[in-house]
Chains A and B, each alone.
Chain A
Amino acid sequence: MKKISVRQCGMIIVMCIFANKILLMPSLMYQQTSADSIFVLITLFLLDFVMLPIFIKLKESYPDKKLYDILKDKLGVVITKIIYIAMLCFFFFKCLLVFSVTYVYFKQQIYQDEFIFMALIAFLPVINHAVISGVRAFSRTIELFFGVVIAGFIVCLVISLFTPISTPDFFISSGKEFFSALYNHIFAFGDFIILFLIMDRIEIKKGQAKRLYFYSIFAMILVVILFYLFYAKYQITAFMHNNALADLLVFSVQFNAIGRLDIIAMLTIMFITLFQMEIFNYAFCDCFVNIFPLLNKNYSIVVFDILFCILYYVFIGRYETMVTSALFWLPYLAIVINYLLPIVLLVILIIRRRKIEKKDKNLV
């Protein structure tokens, strides 16, 4: 079995944490809760973060078992398949959303008059190839480019410091607004779920689990800093800027002579989007293969591509509809995947531990 290291796994997590949060979300959130969105973000991150210890415990208890097998043993085939179908949809829409947001950004910035399928013909084969090559190959690819991506991200953040910024206005929104924002943006979170799907592929040696915490916290801090700087720079007009990471680079008048530096953000976003799509496509295919064990990976890729092209074509004209559905309909799905599934797994873990304790007592 081709396994991946904890380091590579951490990098996959970092890419997932960046997914859907670094372009459109800051401005979407600002419309609801203004600068207090940072607290919404932190709260959602904390809720997410609970999943990590659950994952590590689960991995310790079942070192080489697939999530599907664990669930099948405990909950039966039907429920497991239902959960997997939910996950399949979850990852599919995540992938679609990631791609659409990036595509709209590119369309605005660099591909004004180009053909709609141009981005698809460039991206889809690459992510499909990555999925066929397997999790080890694409996690190695992420590993190779990780430095570039993080450097690009940090450069965007640092350059924004050269322009005037002031502390964002906190504590403006009401509790109701806060909670509704919390609910609306759940879909963009749940980044640790991917870990459960590839748990049999990860090799965690003793004492290495803390590295996963490190990578997750690192990525979360970067996103929080991005939010903070974005709000600090744009303040009240944050809602007008839909591409947070790139907009951070747009200079104020004083720096106009330097020229456009947003190519740094552009390249960073391209890499990040590709990697995120690879991960989500892989997750989709993994779910698909488990739901339909008779069909192999190639079928899952074909299904993914066809669905993706159709939905992309339908939705891209109604980008607003897509974003709205991500805010209002998909959170239902996200609640199931992000929070119910980990709770179920936690219960499984607790029951297992009790059983073991009982056994130990009996033995004594």
Chain B
Amino acid sequence: MSYFNVKEKIEEIKNTLNNSVDFSYRLYKKGSQVLGFIFLKSIIDQSLFSSAVYFPLQMYDGKITIENLKNDILKCVDIKEAKEKDMISEILDGKLIIITNFSIKILSIDLLKFPTRTPSEPPTSPVIQGPREGFVEDLQTNVTLLRRRLKTQNLVMEVLRVGSQTQTKVCITYIKGIANKKIVKQVREKIKNIKIDGILDSYNILFYLENRPGSLFKQIGNTEKPDIVTSKLLEGKVAILVDNSPIVLTVPFIFIEDLQNSNDYYTNHHYSSFVRVIRLFGLLIALIAPGFYLALQLYHYNILPLNFLITIADTTQGLPFTPFLEILFIFLLFQILYEVSLRLPSYLGLATSVVGALILGDTGVKAGLISPPGVIIVALSKIALYTIPEQAPQITVLQLVFIILGGSLGLIGLISGLVYIVNYLNNFDSFSTPYLAPYSPRIPQDLKDAVFMDPIYSMRQRPKSFSPESKERV
């Protein structure tokens, strides 16, 4: 039996890791015994290394054995034996590897430490009342956040590694006995089949999970808030946590989920219902208002009430653009402003909004380039878009489609487009869940938490749409 030549082994590893700048090692000699500590100094807790590993070793008088090290000497929590072939990946995972010249066994000690954020309120989903914690980039912290909320033995967290280069940890989370096994299996298989070199964010695996990849519509839920994930797990969904991403994915996803906001559950349910109706209404306005206005102006002047017609005719008189170009121009203007205000630092953002909204809009109208009704309609639809911010990307694309449909085919085009989209959505089921449930098909028991919301205490059953294994919330 040959033991390690510590120095050579260290050299070998150093070469494997291409003399990386953060590669570090220490040798400890006591008599004939040599111990080598190999680690990446960028991702381990160096103070813990000296206080819990090196210092106790120095203080130890007796003969060092692997068993001694594991049980007595080292003052660390997570000490494991590792295999030689896994050594590199262990080092890359932030472990401290100990090799000796007196044993074939290799010890791997978890000393991982890197700069992390503390859980704070995510900017994408602020709440007025309710928990303000949000997920962070560190998987471990995220797991902690979930575990804190779900103290059940049935909480399953399976870790898979995805990405040939990044070896990112992907954690499939669900509650055994509630989540549908078929869905869990489907998710697991889909994640296992991902062939890619790197996963940088959960969005990278999102496209592999979708039933209809390439579709415009959102098929996977995502959130940054642990309380939302918890409630979704309790509904029987499966959550996918990805290391280095604060966004947690949930499947199956249905459209109505975006209408629900975590605020709704922390306020009066009557108010929540009202707000949800407003959101739905906002969505409808966002979708078809510019197209509808264009259709009225181009084809159906006769269904406009006379007074409204007078206003439109007076304001559009003498404009250099045709109605279609006018709406398109305002639409693009708003979209550019939106993009700019999103990318610019906040201190400049204010300036752009002033220049954009006030100066461009107002002067545009006064200069006779654009008409006030046109600005109002497009602005209204753009604002209404953010009643459901989660749906904003696809609705923005659809807005343009509806502008083209309304402008080219009129009211018939709009209605046909609407029916087509609904038909299309009805035809794709996300993880065998009807996308527009509980309205089409109608699932009466799920209507308790749809556009109109019942008080929480009456939601005694889990949503049938996700076909959970245990139906009652007990």
Using a CB–CB cutoff of 8 Å, the interface residues on chain A facing chain B are 5, 7-8, 106, 109-111, 114, 118-119, 121-123, 125-126, 129-130, 133-134, 136-138, 140-141, 143-145, 258-260, 262-263, 266-267, 270-271, 274-275
What's the nearest-Cβ distance from chain A to residue B299, in Å? 6
B441 touches A8 (CB 8 A): yes
B415 touches A144 (CB 8 A): no
Given contact pairs A111-B410, A130-B423, A138-B423, A143 touches B440 in the complex (Cβ within 8 A): yes
A143 touches B411 (CB 8 A): no
The answer, yes or no, to whether B305 is at the interface (CB within 8 Å) is yes
Chain B 278-299 near chain A by CB (<8 Å), digits 1 or 0? 0000000000000000000001
A125 touches B420 (CB 8 A): yes
On chain A, the residues within 8 Å of B420 by CB distance are 125-126, 129
What's the nearest-Cβ distance from chain B to residue A145, in Å? 7
The answer, yes or no, to whether B69 is at the interface (CB within 8 Å) is no
Expressed in whole angstroms, the Cα–Cα distance for A337 and B413 within the complex equals 34
Expressed in whole angstroms, the Cα–Cα distance for A143 and B437 within the complex equals 11
- List the 5 closest A-B pairs by CB distance, nearest first: A259-B305, A144-B440, A140-B440, A140-B426, A137-B427
Expressed in whole angstroms, the Cα–Cα distance for A7 and B415 within the complex equals 24
A140 touches B412 (CB 8 A): no
Expressed in whole angstroms, the Cα–Cα distance for A262 and B304 within the complex equals 10
Additional 6 contacts, C-beta under 8 A, given A141-B440, A275-B419: A122-B412, A125-B420, A126-B419, A144-B440, A260-B302, A274-B419
CB within 8 Å of A: which B425-473 residues: 426-427, 434, 436, 439-442
Interface residues of B: mostly helix, strand, loop or mixed?
helix
A129 touches B424 (CB 8 A): yes
A270 touches B409 (CB 8 A): no
* A-B pairs with beta carbons under 8 Å apart, 16 shown: A106-B412, A110-B299, A110-B302, A110-B411, A111-B410, A122-B405, A123-B416, A125-B420, A133-B426, A141-B440, A143-B441, A144-B439, A260-B303, A270-B415, A271-B419, A274-B415
- Closest residue of A by beta carbon distance from B301: A110
The answer, yes or no, to whether B149 is at the interface (CB within 8 Å) is no
On chain B, the residues within 8 Å of A143 by CB distance are 439-442
A262 touches B412 (CB 8 A): no
On chain B, the residues within 8 Å of A141 by CB distance are 419, 422-423, 426, 440
The answer, yes or no, to whether B307 is at the interface (CB within 8 Å) is yes
A270 touches B434 (CB 8 A): no
Interface residues of A: mostly helix, strand, loop or mixed?
helix
The answer, yes or no, to whether B474 is at the interface (CB within 8 Å) is no
Q: Which among A126, A129, A143 has the greatest number of chain B C-beta atoms within 10 A?
A: A126
On chain A, the residues within 8 Å of B422 by CB distance are 141, 144-145
B442 touches A270 (CB 8 A): no
Using a CB–CB cutoff of 8 Å, the interface residues on chain B facing chain A are 299-300, 302-308, 405, 409-413, 415-417, 419-420, 422-424, 426-427, 434, 436, 439-442
B412 touches A119 (CB 8 A): yes
What's the nearest-Cβ distance from chain A to residue B390, in Å? 20
A137 touches B410 (CB 8 A): no
What's the nearest-Cβ distance from chain B to residue A170, in Å? 35
B419 touches A262 (CB 8 A): no
What's the nearest-Cβ distance from chain A to residue B192, in Å? 29
From B302, B307, B416, A122 is in contact (CB under 8 Å) with B416
B423 touches A271 (CB 8 A): no
What's the nearest-Cβ distance from chain A to residue B410, in Å? 7
From A121, A126, A144, B436 is in contact (CB under 8 Å) with A144
Given contact pairs A126-B419, A270-B415, A134 touches B427 in the complex (Cβ within 8 A): yes
What's the nearest-Cβ distance from chain A to residue B298, in Å? 10
On chain A, the residues within 8 Å of B440 by CB distance are 140-141, 143-144
What's the nearest-Cβ distance from chain A to residue B179, in Å? 24
From B303, B410, B419, B441, A5 is in contact (CB under 8 Å) with B441
A110 touches B410 (CB 8 A): yes
Given contact pairs A122-B413, A133-B426, A270-B412, A114 touches B419 in the complex (Cβ within 8 A): no
Expressed in whole angstroms, the Cα–Cα distance for A138 and B442 within the complex equals 14
Expressed in whole angstroms, the Cα–Cα distance for A267 and B416 within the complex equals 11
- Closest residue of B by beta carbon distance from A267: B415
Q: Which among A134, A141, A258 has the greatest number of chain B C-beta atoms within 10 A?
A: A141
Expressed in whole angstroms, the Cα–Cα distance for A137 and B427 within the complex equals 5
B299 touches A114 (CB 8 A): yes
What's the nearest-Cβ distance from chain B to residue A103, in Å? 9
On chain B, the residues within 8 Å of A263 by CB distance are 303
What's the nearest-Cβ distance from chain B to residue A130, in Å? 5
Expressed in whole angstroms, the Cα–Cα distance for A138 and B436 within the complex equals 12
On chain B, the residues within 8 Å of A134 by CB distance are 427
On chain A, the residues within 8 Å of B302 by CB distance are 109-110, 260
A262 touches B303 (CB 8 A): yes
Q: Which among B409, B410, B413, B423 has the greatest number of chain A C-beta atoms within 10 A?
A: B423
From A5, A121, A130, B409 is in contact (CB under 8 Å) with A121
On chain B, the residues within 8 Å of A133 by CB distance are 423-424, 426-427
On chain B, the residues within 8 Å of A140 by CB distance are 426, 434, 436, 440-441
From B299, B304, B405, B411, A270 is in contact (CB under 8 Å) with B411
A123 touches B412 (CB 8 A): yes
A266 touches B303 (CB 8 A): yes
On chain B, the residues within 8 Å of A111 by CB distance are 299, 410, 412
From B303, B424, B441, A110 is in contact (CB under 8 Å) with B303
On chain B, the residues within 8 Å of A262 by CB distance are 303
On chain A, the residues within 8 Å of B307 by CB distance are 259
Expressed in whole angstroms, the Cα–Cα distance for A275 and B422 within the complex equals 12
Given contact pairs A138-B423, A141-B423, A122 touches B409 in the complex (Cβ within 8 A): yes
On chain A, the residues within 8 Å of B426 by CB distance are 133, 136-138, 140-141, 144
What's the nearest-Cβ distance from chain B to residue A174, in Å? 41
- Closest residue of B by beta carbon distance from A262: B303
On chain B, the residues within 8 Å of A258 by CB distance are 305
On chain B, the residues within 8 Å of A125 by CB distance are 416, 420
Expressed in whole angstroms, the Cα–Cα distance for A141 and B415 within the complex equals 13
What's the nearest-Cβ distance from chain B to residue A120, in Å? 10
What's the nearest-Cβ distance from chain A to residue B69, in Å? 63
A260 touches B441 (CB 8 A): no
What's the nearest-Cβ distance from chain A to residue B290, in Å? 17
Expressed in whole angstroms, the Cα–Cα distance for A106 and B412 within the complex equals 9
A118 touches B412 (CB 8 A): yes
What's the nearest-Cβ distance from chain A to residue B296, in Å? 9
Expressed in whole angstroms, the Cα–Cα distance for A255 and B289 within the complex equals 27
Expressed in whole angstroms, the Cα–Cα distance for A217 and B419 within the complex equals 26
What's the nearest-Cβ distance from chain A to residue B422, in Å? 5
- Closest residue of B by beta carbon distance from A112: B302
Expressed in whole angstroms, the Cα–Cα distance for A57 and B306 within the complex equals 56
From A110, A119, A126, A259, B306 is in contact (CB under 8 Å) with A259
On chain B, the residues within 8 Å of A109 by CB distance are 302-303
On chain B, the residues within 8 Å of A8 by CB distance are 441
